[in-house]
Structure 1
Amino acid sequence: MTEEAGLWDQDAELWESLGYEAPVRVNLMKRICDLTSSAVGVKFSPSLRANPPPLVPVERIRNGLNIAPHRLNGCYLLQLDEKTILKVGLRVHMGESEAMILVRNQTSVPVPKVFNAYMIEDIGFISMEKIDGMQLGRNWSELPREMKESLAQELRGYIQQWRQIKGSFFGTVDNGPCQEIIFQHPWENKVYRYGPFATRRGFNKGMVEALAKSRPNLKLETEQDIRFAEELLMSGTDQEEIKVFTHGDLDMSNIMIQDGKITAIIDWGAAGYSVPEREYFALRWPALDEDWCELSTSILPPDGYEYWYNINRQMKLYTCI
């Protein structure tokens, strides 16, 4: 086995979960390079279609440095040079590039500039600016309290800016399916699409469908499931229907800092128009640090957190994903 094959070979289980009849070992990087070489049927991100930039050359992809070798979500982060990162893989979609372009155009939020973004078959490519800084979580525990509070307020200001952007549907910016974490717990790790949805009632029906598909027999299993599904169907229908732009994955690893300031918000793969409560839930749900948990309520109101936490818990009751 060559050094390159040892670096890039992926477990066939991922491919099989996406509907492929894969051999025991599948070299995803080889497929990415083959598709790049043939460049047949390229579909550019909507904002770039009028004047599409050149594709990333296959030689640059082969020579790229994998800066996140332990990622398990079907994509690579390749550093092509000192200023350029390529995110490429099966789980990369144009809703992410469109979200970054939208935020850069309509806010002052520091977001990597998108140089190019396109799909070749089911592989997504996003070439973007490499931002200086380190992940907030890397040295959070060592930061003085005053700096933590300052960073929390800076983040609050950025979130308030992008929450001014409203949509007419629930889904990704390019009218793709919803990327909420509650839709990411399918039984047997199958991939399903939910949405986009024009109304909250449609969104709620999507949640019920996701609940059923998180069960071993792909249907509601118990009386408790049925009662919970009825609760989901009525969720938020007595409130004003707002579809607010949402990052959706504000984990500390997706916030870059340098010299006590935020230099970038990264990883917009879960972004889209969603319910207002989703942003706080995604910010708070994975957090373990006590200071971050406390400061999170100064960043966003915690309204609805327990309810959405329970939805997510019910979705992963059988899968534990």
Structure 2
Amino acid sequence: MHYMPGKRLDEKLSIASELHSYINQLRDLKGDYIGAIDRGKAVIGQIASIEGGPFDSEQQFNDFILGDIVKSAPDMLRNHAKFALMDDHEIVFTHADFSPRNTLIEGGRVTAILDWEYAGWYPEHWEYIQALWQQKPMPDRPEYLSRILPPRYEREYIGMSFLARLIRH
């Protein structure tokens, strides 16, 4: 047999399963505020480089997003944005910058997850939304990501993407 370039698919799926397990372990850690460790400010880095809080509830977090971030949007668009933000999520520990560039592997195993500067306590959908926003052109990235963070927060993703678009204009 001749050497063929590439990695075996079972190795990649094994890494996805391992990462899924690590993310679930983080999500098992529950918080009582939204923000960085030790009641630091919440960083909303993917929408804009904005910090605020910490927030004692998801409603306060949403009010901050709507009031401070989207204050220049027309009322009609603000009403749409408000509809997209729910306040009934669990607050969980989140890496908030989960992407391939922050994952080291060797020998088919994860050796480290890097870049914890945005980590903290956020609504349970935050990790999923941040990871989707950080997708780079990789042929199988959405499929691979769905094994790590199974699709679940469609409404939240659409709502936050809508807010991000308001901020850019």
Q: Which TM class, normalised by the smaller chain length?
A: 0.7 to 0.9
Question: Relative to 1, partners in 2 of residues 1:273 and 1:297: Cα closer, same or farther, differing over 3 Å?
Answer: same
Question: Relative to 1, partners in 2 of residues 1:278 and 1:229: Cα closer, same or farther, differing over 3 Å?
Answer: same
Of 144, 159, 167, 2:8 maps to: 144
Provide Cα deviations, 1:135-176, integer angstroms capped at 9, x if missing partner.
xxxxxx932211110110010111111111111100011211
Indicate the structure (1 or 2) with the bigger Cα radius of gyration. 1
Of 212, 225, 247, 2:95 maps to: 247
Equivalent-residue separation in structure 1 for 2:100 and 2:52 (angstroms)? 27
Of 292, 295, 300, 2:149 maps to: 300
How much has 1:256 moved relative to structure 2?
Answer: 0.6
Within 5 A, what are the aligned runs for 1:38-77? none
- Which amino acid in 2 is paired with 1:293? P
Native 8 Å contact 1:281 1:305 kept in 2 = no
- Which amino acid in 1 is paired with 2:11? M
Of 188, 208, 214, 2:66 maps to: 208
- TM-score normalised according to structure 2 size: 0.84
Instruction: Name the residue aligned to 2:163.
Output: 314
- Which amino acid in 2 is paired with 1:268? W
Instruction: Name the residue aligned to 2:22.
Output: 158
Native 8 Å contact 2:81 2:162 kept in 1 = no
Unpaired runs of at least 5, structure 2: none
Instruction: Name the residue aligned to 2:133.
Output: 285
Within 5 A, what are the aligned runs for 1:200-279? 200-212=58-70, 219-232=71-84, 235-237=85-87, 239=88, 241-279=89-127
How much has 1:280 moved relative to structure 2?
Answer: 1.6
Instruction: Name the residue aligned to 1:180.
Output: 44
Native 8 Å contact 1:147 1:260 kept in 2 = yes
Question: Relative to 1, partners in 2 of residues 1:279 and 1:297: Cα closer, same or farther, differing over 3 Å?
Answer: same
Equivalent-residue separation in structure 2 for 1:298 and 1:209 (angstroms)? 35
Higher relative CO (Cα under 8 Å, sequence separation at least 6) belongs to 2
**Whose helix fraction is larger, Structure 1's or Structure 2's?**
2
Unpaired runs of at least 5, structure 1: 1-140, 186-190, 213-218
Of 195, 213, 229, 2:53 maps to: 195
- CA RMSD in angstroms, aligned pairs only: 2.3
Equivalent-residue separation in structure 1 for 2:122 and 2:52 (angstroms)? 13
Query: What SS does the corresponding residue of 1:201 show, helix, strand or coil?
Result: helix
How much has 1:309 moved relative to structure 2?
Answer: 4.3
- TM-score normalised according to structure 1 size: 0.47
